Structure 1
Amino acid sequence: MSSRTLRALALAATALITATALTACGGDDKDAASASGSGSAEASAIRLGYFPNITHTPALLGVNKGFFQEALGSTKLEAKTFNAGPAAIEALFSGAIDATYIGPNPAINGWAQSKGEGLKIIAGSTSAGAGLVVKPGITTAAGLQGKKIATPQLGNTQDVALRAWLKENGLNADTQGGGDVSILPQDNATILQAFAQGAIDGAWVPEPYYSRLQLESGGKVLVDEKELWPGGQFVTTHLIVTQEFLKKYPGTVKKLLQGHLKALDYIKADNTGAQKAANDQLAALSGKPLKDNILAASFQNLTFTADPIASSLFTSAQHAQDVGLLKPVDLNGIYDLGPLNELLKAAGRPEVSDAAA
């Protein structure tokens, strides 16, 4: 695929899913499969994207503690931050970055936009840590009738989750804010302010906003999203890379994954230290570290894992289709877990699956 085509796709990827998602066929995995074999080519540098958010903790630690650069050796790490999935996908497709931590729905949309040629999911990162927080007087789904509920962005992971849950409970909501429940997409900072001021009745958000709505504004949990998923696990953040970079530099991709696994190991070995290091990196990026109680609550609600929990990605895509936010898309081939599983196997750990169920 030409760089001009990818740039065009990058611009398209920032549009609403309802207007731009395309039916895509699974990519040919032969080249990717060979890349995840014995290839050892390495790049002089890798440009890695991530978000200044606690749901990207493995990336925060990888940068802050030097895990990535240590694993990469002579390959230079160039880390860049983004505040939204569409911007990260645009940067990926325009050639500004080679890999990024990102949520599931932007990855799905990017896969669809590139017709299965733009990216591969190579590892899981974060699971759970999201749900619907409402005013204390709302105790049932029926109690949401006529209420205003916010989500971070139309068609994003939490927006899809809310709309699918409402539909399952016999409530409808359109993309213009009408229906039984008025859904009002807005950025997370605005959600916090609007809820505190009583302008909205609740919000389906990820951490740390899930905990902040409760601890700072007295909100109550109506839906803890992990209760809707088998084993309480669903993908919140995973790691993707362009197919071009994966094919050209499999050695660098494997070393990036080594740094990623080291960050995950550090969280398990020293959870308190991991919280501090993640918060230090957040402070360095935004100047706004999380309060200790918010940080602790967020960590308690999140699970950090290399397992991409592939089945939840396929289910989330189906939910987006069911509520009219995504046209049918074939996700076959979106994963290349070969490099990750090689590392896991070598360490005597269980391998992970890309199965839809």
Structure 2
Amino acid sequence: MKKLLYLCTIALLAVLTACGSKSTSGETPEEIIIGYFPNINHVAGMVAEEKNFYEETLPDGTEVSYKYFPDGSSFMTAIETGEIHGGLVGPGPAMNHFTNGAKINILAAGSTGGTVIMARKDSGITSPEDIKGKTFISPRVGCTHDVQFETLMMREFGMKSDRLNGDMKHVTGKPATYAQQFANGKVDVATVPEPWASYIEEEGYGEVLIDTKNVAYGETLPAAVFVTSSDLVENDSELVQKLVDGHMKATEFIQENPDESKTIAINKIKDITEQELSRSVIDSAWERITFTYEINPDYLQMFANSSFDLEFLKEKPDLEGLVDKSFIE
């Protein structure tokens, strides 16, 4: 009887221990879904898709599919609901959702740079001071490019958007439509992610007003970050490592094979947006971007503080726990 009781106790302890432990590996889903935008800052996603890098790092037979997003808000919703397993998004949406309680982690960078402030041709804008009273466009309210632009204008020129009872009117739209918005005279200024800045410049719809290096956090802030859910990190770290490995392989391929990567970007952007960009546009855009998976959390915190200053965030943010660099080290 005592022996039976002892065995039952051991069995019960084993069950309780298993229930209380954090799983570090699990069965890889039959399908992995990766998200990214049709922007040059997201070329790592395009290259990974074209070269099947995730298929190389994931277990044999895993199906990998891709979903393309027009803005960071829809991407972050897809991460939070489990619609996608990971992918590339601007740091602004990732930080905003994290501070609002989203269980997500930034695991790596995708690129830095690539934001350009453009003025419409014949708008009469020849300097940043001329933006007062004009209409500017960004992909989304509070997105990365919006924060970079509004931070610069507020700090350097004392201007705010109409959202803050300021003297700049703000509208939103997809970056691929900015050239037409300029052509129609609907907007005067655009905070533009590449390659659309170089496209606008080449086609003569607008001119560079503030280049990447002079935009707020222009060369230091990650323009794209690789994100997944905290639940996936906690419950299946082996799968997460395989995803990050695929992303790093794509980034290293871009660094070592820029010409082929440019061709991939041209073809993927055409497939997704139905717009074919010239090689000269891509060459120009490439000069404003650095492709890297290395990430510095300090720059993200400074950027988040700017989001608070602009009242995109209700409380001053603490990004402790958002970035997990362990998968790239």
TM-score by length of 1: 0.78
Partner Cα distance (2:63, 2:34) in 1: 10
In structure 2, the residue matched to 1:184 is 171
Partner Cα distance (1:199, 1:177) in 2: 21
Partner Cα distance (2:38, 2:114) in 1: 16
In structure 1, the residue matched to 2:323 is 335
**CA deviations over 1:289-320 (Å, ceiling 9, x no partner):** 32222121112211110112323221211111
In structure 1, the residue matched to 2:110 is 125
**What is the DSSP-based 3-state SS (H/G/I as helix, E as strand, rest coil) of the residue aligned with 1:164?**
helix
Partner Cα distance (2:143, 2:190) in 1: 13
Give the CA deviation at 1:177.
8.7
* Counterpart check, 1:67 vs 2:53: yes
Partner Cα distance (2:81, 2:57) in 1: 26
Which has the higher mean CA deviation after the structures are superposed, 167-176 or 47-56? 167-176
**What is the DSSP-based 3-state SS (H/G/I as helix, E as strand, rest coil) of the residue aligned with 1:138?**
coil
**What is the DSSP-based 3-state SS (H/G/I as helix, E as strand, rest coil) of the residue aligned with 1:134?**
strand
Give the CA deviation at 1:196.
2.0
Partner Cα distance (1:82, 1:302) in 2: 20
Give the CA deviation at 1:40.
5.1
- Radius of gyration: which is bigger? 2
Partner Cα distance (1:231, 1:140) in 2: 18
Partner Cα distance (1:312, 1:169) in 2: 19
Q: Report the residue type matching 1:49 in the other structure.
A: G
In structure 1, the residue matched to 2:192 is 205
Give the CA deviation at 1:283.
3.0
Give the CA deviation at 1:166.
1.3
Partner Cα distance (1:282, 1:142) in 2: 34
Check 1:212–1:142 CA distance in 2 against 1; reply closer, same or farther (3 A cut). same
**What is the DSSP-based 3-state SS (H/G/I as helix, E as strand, rest coil) of the residue aligned with 1:124?**
strand
Give the CA deviation at 1:160.
1.3
Whether the 8 Å CA contact 1:154–1:175 is kept in 2: the answer is no
Q: Which blocks of at least 5 consecutive residues in structure 2 are unaligned?
A: 1-21
In structure 1, the residue matched to 2:238 is 251
**CA deviations over 1:119-166 (Å, ceiling 9, x no partner):** 100011011001211146433222222222222221111111121111
Give the CA deviation at 1:42.
5.1
**CA deviations over 1:158-181 (Å, ceiling 9, x no partner):** 111121111113433234496322
In structure 2, the residue matched to 1:18 is none
Match for 1:48 among 6, 19, 34? 34
In structure 1, the residue matched to 2:222 is 235
Partner Cα distance (1:187, 1:278) in 2: 18
Give the CA deviation at 1:256.
1.5
* Counterpart check, 1:260 vs 2:251: no
**What is the DSSP-based 3-state SS (H/G/I as helix, E as strand, rest coil) of the residue aligned with 1:279?**
helix
Whether the 8 Å CA contact 1:50–1:102 is kept in 2: the answer is yes
Partner Cα distance (1:286, 1:146) in 2: 32
Whether the 8 Å CA contact 1:42–1:250 is kept in 2: the answer is no
Partner Cα distance (2:69, 2:167) in 1: 34
Whether the 8 Å CA contact 1:163–1:323 is kept in 2: the answer is yes
**What is the DSSP-based 3-state SS (H/G/I as helix, E as strand, rest coil) of the residue aligned with 1:254?**
helix
Give the CA deviation at 1:218.
4.7
Check 1:169–1:154 CA distance in 2 against 1; reply closer, same or farther (3 A cut). same
Aligned length: 303
Q: Report the residue type matching 1:333 in the other structure.
A: G
Q: Which blocks of at least 5 consecutive residues in structure 1 are unaligned?
A: 1-33, 342-357
Whether the 8 Å CA contact 1:141–1:169 is kept in 2: the answer is no
Partner Cα distance (2:177, 2:270) in 1: 20
Q: Report the residue type matching 2:322 in the other structure.
A: I
Q: Report the residue type matching 2:234 in the other structure.
A: K
**What is the DSSP-based 3-state SS (H/G/I as helix, E as strand, rest coil) of the residue aligned with 2:287?**
helix
Check 1:151–1:273 CA distance in 2 against 1; reply closer, same or farther (3 A cut). same
Partner Cα distance (1:182, 1:166) in 2: 13
Match for 1:82 among 63, 66, 69? 69
Which has the higher mean CA deviation after the structures are superposed, 168-177 or 129-138? 168-177
Check 1:158–1:324 CA distance in 2 against 1; reply closer, same or farther (3 A cut). same
Which residues of 2 match residues 135-146 of structure 1 at below 5 A?
135=120, 137-146=124-133
**CA deviations over 1:215-265 (Å, ceiling 9, x no partner):** 112522221233356793221101011111112221121112221111112
Whether the 8 Å CA contact 2:71–2:140 is kept in 1: the answer is no
Whether the 8 Å CA contact 1:195–1:217 is kept in 2: the answer is no
Give the CA deviation at 1:275.
0.7
In structure 1, the residue matched to 2:287 is 300
**What is the DSSP-based 3-state SS (H/G/I as helix, E as strand, rest coil) of the residue aligned with 1:47?**
strand
Partner Cα distance (1:191, 1:231) in 2: 20
Whether the 8 Å CA contact 2:70–2:174 is kept in 1: the answer is no
Whether the 8 Å CA contact 2:251–2:292 is kept in 1: the answer is yes
CA RMSD of aligned residues (A): 2.3
Whether the 8 Å CA contact 1:177–1:184 is kept in 2: the answer is no
Q: Report the residue type matching 1:43 in the other structure.
A: T
In structure 1, the residue matched to 2:10 is none
